[in-house]
């Protein structure tokens, strides 16, 4: 499965990105694709959305064939990274040198690179047809996607036999090739798509626009949007909802103008909470199969 497709969902906190990512994961899994949804957001509620325990290792989702999920735990990822780098060194480095190496690993830098390294491992693993990343709010996600470029350059410029917060250079030199592959995948619009979830309000729109430009600056141009929380016109009968709908309509026009040429989907506000496989399945059908979205479909979405 060397042509795994990667979908990154992000957006301002509270816009429904986890729900949209989860519904999309069910959609692809039920098309027969071996699918993984993974969160890189420490505050994720992926377990709540699927109504089952999800942890640091892949688990199958109850009631959905071909679907697995996991939540990357930064602390566990950091410990695993330390053990992978440090363990081989114990065989030939003196105890005093090992204490220095272990000291260097006790830093925020190591936690950041370890969580990122686990993320890159998933991009480097051909086990799935589709991998969906439910990422942290936009600013953190941009930082995550910038890391492969930064760390690849960092390794390249580090002195031979040098010490870094990632570990001794000789122990991590092989990581550069892995990070370079991740950069190529992120920039390959045939394999990677970045999906902003937003609502028809000013702040989510501006944040998505700003972030899309930051992604383009690092070579990621396959950008799509999901407009979530749209009020159904037939339900807007009292003055409060009429006024709210008028506001949304104004912002929908702004979205059409500011995101002209960008593939997009619409999701209408539901009366029920989006939680559990059955409601997620219905949301996926609305996103991918409803008439209002047919003309918005792209070949791979």
96-109 tens-digit pLDDT? 767 776 666 666 66
pLDDT score of 300 more than 50: no
pLDDT score of 35 more than 80: yes
pLDDT score of 246 more than 90: yes
pLDDT score of 64 more than 70: yes
- Residue 166: pLDDT band (50, 70, 90) is very low
- Radius of gyration over alpha carbons of the chain, in Å? 21
Give the structural domain span for 64: 5-294
What pairing do the DSSP bridges indicate for beta strands 223-230 and 192-198? parallel
Rounded Cα distance, 62 and 56, in Å: 17
Rounded Cα distance, 208 and 195, in Å: 10
What's the token pair of residue 267? 């999701």
Q: Would you say residue 299 lies in a domain?
A: no
How far from 210 is each of 180, 201, 207, 213, 259, CA to CA, in Å? 25, 15, 5, 5, 12
pLDDT score of 161 more than 70: no
Q: Would you say residue 152 lies in a domain?
A: yes
Confirm if 71 and 104 have CB atoms less than 8 A apart. Answer: no
Mean pLDDT estimate for the chain: 81
Condensed to tens digits (0 to 9), the pLDDT of residues 126-152 reads: 889 999 999 876 555 666 666 656 655
Q: Would you say residue 300 lies in a domain?
A: no
How many domains are there within the chain? 1
Confirm if 42 and 150 have CB atoms less than 8 A apart. Answer: no
Mean pLDDT of 216-234: 91
Q: Would you say residue 70 lies in a domain?
A: yes
Alpha helices in the chain (DSSP H): 17-30, 46-50, 74-86, 95-105, 108-123, 138-157, 169-172, 175-187, 202-217, 239-258, 277-288, 291-294
Q: What percent of the chain has pLDDT over 70?
A: 75
Q: Would you say residue 30 lies in a domain?
A: yes
| Category of 188 on φ-ψ map: left (φ > 0), alpha (ψ -120 to 50) or beta | beta
Confirm if 6 and 192 have CB atoms less than 8 A apart. Answer: yes
User: What CATH number is associated with residue 158?
Assistant: 3.40.50.300
Q: What's residue 6's pLDDT? A: 93
- Residue 37: pLDDT band (50, 70, 90) is very high
Q: Would you say residue 301 lies in a domain?
A: no
Confirm if 131 and 4 have CB atoms less than 8 A apart. Answer: yes
Q: What's residue 296's pLDDT? A: 40
How far from 196 is each of 59, 116, 167, 245, 255, CA to CA, in Å? 26, 20, 35, 22, 12
On the CB side of 78, CA atoms within 13 Å amount to 15
pLDDT score of 51 more than 80: yes
Apex CA 49: angle with CA 43 and CA 55, to 5°? 60
pLDDT score of 10 more than 50: yes
Give the chain's end-to-end CA distance (angstroms, integer). Answer: 18
pLDDT score of 299 more than 50: no
Q: Would you say residue 268 lies in a domain?
A: yes
Confirm if 241 and 235 have CB atoms less than 8 A apart. Answer: yes
SS3 content of the chain, % helix, strand, coil (to 5): 50, 15, 30
Q: What's residue 295's pLDDT? A: 36
Q: What's residue 138's pLDDT? A: 54
């Amino acid at each position: 499965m060397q042509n795994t497709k990667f979908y990154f969902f992000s957006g301002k906190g509270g816009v429904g990105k986890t729900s949209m990512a989860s519904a999309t994961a069910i959609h692809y899994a039920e098309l027969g694709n071996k699918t993984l949804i993974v969160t890189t957001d420490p505050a994720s509620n992926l377990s709540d959305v699927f109504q089952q325990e999800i942890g640091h290792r892949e688990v199958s989702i109850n009631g959905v064939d071909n679907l697995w999920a996991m939540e990357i735990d930064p602390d566990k990822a950091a410990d695993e990274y330390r053990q992978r780098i440090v363990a081989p060194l114990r065989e030939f480095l003196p105890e005093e040198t090992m204490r220095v190496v272990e000291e260097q690993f006790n830093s925020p830098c190591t936690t950041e690179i370890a969580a990122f390294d686990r993320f890159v491992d998933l991009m480097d693993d051909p086990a799935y047809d589709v991998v969906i990343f439910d990422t942290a709010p936009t600013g953190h996600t941009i930082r995550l996607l910038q890391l492969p470029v930064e760390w690849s350059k960092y390794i390249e410029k580090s002195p031979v036999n040098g010490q870094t917060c990632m570990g001794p250079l000789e122990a991590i030199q092989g990581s550069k090739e892995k990070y370079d592959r991740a950069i190529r995948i992120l920039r390959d619009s045939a394999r990677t798509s970045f999906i902003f979830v937003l609502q028809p309000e000013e702040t989510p729109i501006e944040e998505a626009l700003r972030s899309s430009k930051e992604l383009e600056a690092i070579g990621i141009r396959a950008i799509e949007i999901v407009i979530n929380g749209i009020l159904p016109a037939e339900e807007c009968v009292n003055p409060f909802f009429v006024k709210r709908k008028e506001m949304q309509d104004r912002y929908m026009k702004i979205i059409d103008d500011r995101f002209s040429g960008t593939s997009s989907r619409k999701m209408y506000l539901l009366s029920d909470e989006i939680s559990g496989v059955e409601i997620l399945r219905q949301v996926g059908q609305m996103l991918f199969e409803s008439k209002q979205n047919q003309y918005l479909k792209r070949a791979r979405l």
